[in-house]
Structure 1
Amino acid sequence: MSTPFVRYERNGAIVTLTMDRAESRNAIATHQDCADLVAAVQRAQDDASVSCVILTGAGSAFSAGGNLKAMKERNGIGPLDAPDATRANYRRGVQPIAQALWNCEVPMIAAINGHAIGLGLDLACLCDIRIVAEGSKLASSFIKMGIVPGDGGAWILPRAVGLSKASEMILTGDTITAAEALACGLVSQVLPADQLLAAANALAERIVCNPAKALRLSKRLLREGQQQRLSDVLELSAAFQALAHETRDHAEAVDAFLEKRSPVFTGK
């Protein structure tokens, strides 16, 4: 039996998910690869004691995206023997990954340790915060292969960089550098490769020191705010705030502030 596509590692309230196919630059080739990634995200989501997830890749790449060899042989997660079968293949393969990442309520950091191409870039864009190693290359390169973003990239990328930049990246398929990714807001930090994971963990620690329930509610508001009207988000905010006010961690935060001490949160 082959090892799972994703390595799941827990350190306190932080989970690191590592795409673990360094020999293929973490390309996603099979339905089992897709299922492994969905299951790992769901495992973190279902664990109320997890407050941050770091997504990264083994070896020198974050993810090269889809597997071109499997695509050519029509036996992977891409084209099959007829258009109807191909359509169904996308709907049961890569698209559940996009849904799992988007719907996950745990804050997620993409630690882009190398090239993030096609599907690989879209995986990173589905995370809340993206940091990248120097020397990395990023591209929405589907058009270069004569195809479109079948993983929802035409919806995902504009939410990361805006419609104009996303259109430029998708319609040209051009590769951008880490510095260019920083300049257009695709990532928030560029770091030496040997400092990337340490920086991701330090950032995660700054997140998980906050109340766990409020973190998940805040992330959900951020997600809804990208697709709902202001009036809808205001209603949801009032409802979430009503829940947050009843948590023990909120009471502890107020007491600690008034007593001029550090709070001790329990996730309750």
Structure 2
Amino acid sequence: MSEPFLTVERHGAVALLTMNRPATRNALSGEDCFADFERVFAELDADLSLGAAVLTGAGSAFCSGGNVAEMRDRTGMFAGSAEDIAANYRAGIQRIPRAFQRLRLPIIAAVNGPAIGAGNDLACMCDIRIASEAARFAESFVKVGIVPGDGGCWLLPRVVGFARAAELALTGETIDAAEALRIGLVSRIVPAERLLPESMALAGRIAANPPQVLRWTKQLLQQAREGTLDEALDAAGRLQGLAHHTRDHAEAVAAFFDKRAPVFEGR
């Protein structure tokens, strides 16, 4: 039995997820890859002892995107007629952004190296992105004569704005970590040896808060990208009513008055 595409390590209330295909620079390919995102995310989301996750890549790359050798050979997702390929994408790589959309647990991308094509989009699927100085980013689909089939044209403008997303997608050019920081693609750059410690520390600060409330807050942030203010206010009121009736809310208020650190249970 082959190793899973995603390995999971628990560090208290934080899960560290590592894409474990360094030989292919963590290319997003194969049923095991797509199924792992769905399975692991569902398991993490259901575990209210977790408050955050960090996603990174094994080896020197974060993620190289699609498997170009399979494109050349017209195998895997790239086999068959135009209609076949569309169906392959729906049954394959497009399961990943849908898994991210369902994930209520906050997740940070620790971008340790190149994030190319679908790898760049994968980073954009995360809620927060921290880059190593070795990170590189490219929405490079045009360079191999294809379009972003994994939802990149929906994801990227929501991170960097339409004009910058258009420049990246239409040129296919690679940018370094400094430029990614300048345009808001990442929120910080750290030395390579500090990437995981800094990412895990941020995840830990997030996970110190009530786990159910974290999930509801992320839900409101996701909904706000698409809905109206009235819809956002309605959803906020509904979830606020639920939050006020959680044990963690009562614990947080009690700890405030007791001048102590709260202990949250996800209830």
Distance across 2 between alignment mates of 1:38 and 1:187: 25
SS at match of 2:121: helix
Distance across 1 between alignment mates of 2:45 and 2:4: 18
- Structure 2 runs not aligned, ≥5 long: none
**More off after superposition, 257-266 vs 122-131:** 257-266
SS at match of 2:101: helix
Distance across 1 between alignment mates of 2:20 and 2:261: 39
The residue aligned with 1:33 is 33
Asked whether the equivalents of residues 112 and 134 of structure 2 are also in contact (C-alpha less than 8 Å), the reply is no
CA distance 1:265–1:46, shift in 2 (3 Å): closer
Distance across 1 between alignment mates of 2:131 and 2:24: 20
The answer to whether 1:115 aligns with 2:114 is yes
The residue aligned with 2:141 is 142
List, as ranges, runs of 4+ consecutive aligned residues in structure 1 with deviation greater than 6 Å. Answer: none
What does the per-residue CA deviation read over 1:216-239, in whole Å, with 9 as the maximum and x for residues that have no partner?
Answer: 000000000111111101000000
Residue identity matched to 1:229: T
Deviation of residue 48 (structure 1)? 2.1
Asked whether the equivalents of residues 17 and 40 of structure 1 are also in contact (C-alpha less than 8 Å), the reply is no
The answer to whether 1:156 aligns with 2:155 is yes
Asked whether the equivalents of residues 31 and 76 of structure 1 are also in contact (C-alpha less than 8 Å), the reply is no
Residue identity matched to 2:184: G
Deviation of residue 49 (structure 1)? 1.8
Distance across 2 between alignment mates of 1:264 and 1:30: 41
The answer to whether 1:85 aligns with 2:84 is yes
Asked whether the equivalents of residues 137 and 176 of structure 1 are also in contact (C-alpha less than 8 Å), the reply is yes
Residue identity matched to 2:56: T
SS at match of 1:50: coil
Deviation of residue 13 (structure 1)? 1.4
- Structure 1 runs not aligned, ≥5 long: none
Residue identity matched to 1:132: A
Deviation of residue 100 (structure 1)? 0.4
Deviation of residue 29 (structure 1)? 2.3
The residue aligned with 2:172 is 173
Residue identity matched to 1:180: E
Matched ranges for 1:53-72 at <5 A: 53-72=53-72
Residue identity matched to 2:178: A
Residue identity matched to 1:216: R
Distance across 2 between alignment mates of 1:94 and 1:86: 11
The residue aligned with 2:15 is 15
The residue aligned with 2:222 is 223
What does the per-residue CA deviation read over 1:39-90, in whole Å, with 9 as the maximum and x for residues that have no partner?
Answer: 222221122222111110001100000000011112122x222011100000
Superposed CA RMSD: 1.0
Residue identity matched to 1:43: E
**More off after superposition, 199-208 vs 41-50:** 41-50
Distance across 2 between alignment mates of 1:9 and 1:261: 29
Deviation of residue 38 (structure 1)? 2.2
Residue identity matched to 1:263: P
Deviation of residue 260 (structure 1)? 2.2
The residue aligned with 2:3 is 3
**More off after superposition, 234-243 vs 2-11:** 2-11
Distance across 2 between alignment mates of 1:238 and 1:39: 31
The residue aligned with 2:246 is 247
Deviation of residue 259 (structure 1)? 2.5
Q: TM-score normalised to the size of structure 1?
A: 0.97
Distance across 1 between alignment mates of 2:128 and 2:206: 11
Asked whether the equivalents of residues 53 and 107 of structure 2 are also in contact (C-alpha less than 8 Å), the reply is yes
